[in-house]
């Protein structure tokens, strides 16, 4: 199996400044899944424990001259330590920045470096067995610099098929999604909730309402975001419900089948909000049928296009807590 590509300047900025810091908050170890058209960072899709996150990049968002081949339908997947990946990228960027300017001399034209990323096998020091690495390499005017990031043995064909099946299942969207325009307001509320209890009730209605509530024997805290943009199934608020309290209106919507609720870990919910470090263009919340999980989808668009074509999708799932339903 082979993989080789050149990171674009935009790809370097996306990974180093935005996505790797956010993804590292989800968990230090993840799978990197490479296909003909996408590079995908996956957390917990195979073990289903805790937060599942999917950061899917179209290859054009990160790479130029993208080449991949394998006997598994040109698909390669392996585990990688995001902190090591981020550290190696930051290190080589310092050299890349130095070399990326133009150099002239002796009548020669300008020369610029390119940052290449590829899969290699190398023999580590004091080892008899070659090991796989994800390698960054930049060649400048006078020298070349290489940074190796250790990775796991690439997944077998059966493991890749299992990963793809889990990815397909995770990308089934909830029937109703609501867009949350003010992530800072949501972040501030959840930060206060962390000191109150461990579990948070999240309710989403077809009316465009997102209702959050945490309760203990001593205190109940709640917040509601109303009249949000709805994608998918939607409905009008019944006239008789419009003046009810948020809690009463939500309960009646649930009884009517116009809303669904789940209870998730406050810690996991707060961790998902760290994805705002990636500076998404918009965020959508939804609940899977039967309350299977809470899904958060962050979208990122190609700048400068009138069509606002999506180039990156970051999706986060919270497994439901059976004992609370």
b/e 195-208 (16+ beta carbons within 10 angstroms → b): eebebbbbbbbbbb
pLDDT digits (tens, 9 = 90+) for 211-221: 999 988 888 88
Lowest-confidence region among 79-83, 123-127, 228-232, 248-252: 123-127
More confident residue, 323 or 283: 283
Q: What's the full length of the chain, in residues?
A: 325
271 and 318 in contact (C-beta within 8 Å)?
no
Identify the residue whose tokens are 């209890």.
197
pTM for this entry: 0.85
Q: pLDDT value at position 76?
A: 97
The band of 324, judged by pLDDT with boundaries at 50, 70 and 90, is: very low
Could you give the domains of the chain?
2-170 (3.70.10.10), 176-324 (3.10.150.10)
pLDDT digits (tens, 9 = 90+) for 246-305: 888 999 999 999 999 999 888 888 888 888 778 888 889 999 877 778 888 888 876 654
DSSP 166-220: HHHHHTPPPSEEEE-S-HHHHHHHHHHHTTT-SEEEEEEETTS-EEEEEE-SS-E
pLDDT digits (tens, 9 = 90+) for 226-241: 999 999 999 999 988 8
The band of 176, judged by pLDDT with boundaries at 50, 70 and 90, is: very high
Q: pLDDT value at position 68?
A: 97
What are residue 241's DSSP bridge partners? none
């Amino acid at each position: 199996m082979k993989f080789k590509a050149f990171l674009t300047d935009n790809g370097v900025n996306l990974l180093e400044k935005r996505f790797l810091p956010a993804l590292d908050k989800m968990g230090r170890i993840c799978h990197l899944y490479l296909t003909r058209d996408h590079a995908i960072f996956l957390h917990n899709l195979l073990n289903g424990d805790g937060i599942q996150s999917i950061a899917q990049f179209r290859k054009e968002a990160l790479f130029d001259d993208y080449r991949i081949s394998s006997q598994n339908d040109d698909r390669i997947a392996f585990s990688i330590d995001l902190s090591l990946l981020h550290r190696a990228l930051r290190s080589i960027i310092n050299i890349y920045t130095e070399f990326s300017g133009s150099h002239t001399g002796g009548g020669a034209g300008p020369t610029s470096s390119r940052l290449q990323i590829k899969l290699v096998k190398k023999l580590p020091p004091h080892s008899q067995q070659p090991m796989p690495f994800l390698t960054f390499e930049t060649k400048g005017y006078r020298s070349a610099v290489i940074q190796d990031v250790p990775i796991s043995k690439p997944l077998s064909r059966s493991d890749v098929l299992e990963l793809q099946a889990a990815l397909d299942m995770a990308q089934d969207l909830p029937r109703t999604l609501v867009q949350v325009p003010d992530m800072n307001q949501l972040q501030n509320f959840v930060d206060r909730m962390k000191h109150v209890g461990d579990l948070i009730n999240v309710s989403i209605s077809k009316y465009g309402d997102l209702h959050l509530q945490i309760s203990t024997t001593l205190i109940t805290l709640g917040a509601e975001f109303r009249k949000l943009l709805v994608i998918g199934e939607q409905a009008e608020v019944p006239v008789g419900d419009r003046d009810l309290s948020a809690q009463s209106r939500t309960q009646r919507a649930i009884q009517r089948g116009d809303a669904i609720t789940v209870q998730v870990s406050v810690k996991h919910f707060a961790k998902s909000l760290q994805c705002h470090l990636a500076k998404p263009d918009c965020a959508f919340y939804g609940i899977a049928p039967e309350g299977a999980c809470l899904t958060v989808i962050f979208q990122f668009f190609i700048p400068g296009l009138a069509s606002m074509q999506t180039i990156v999708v970051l999706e986060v799932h919270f497994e439901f807590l059976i004992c609370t339903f």
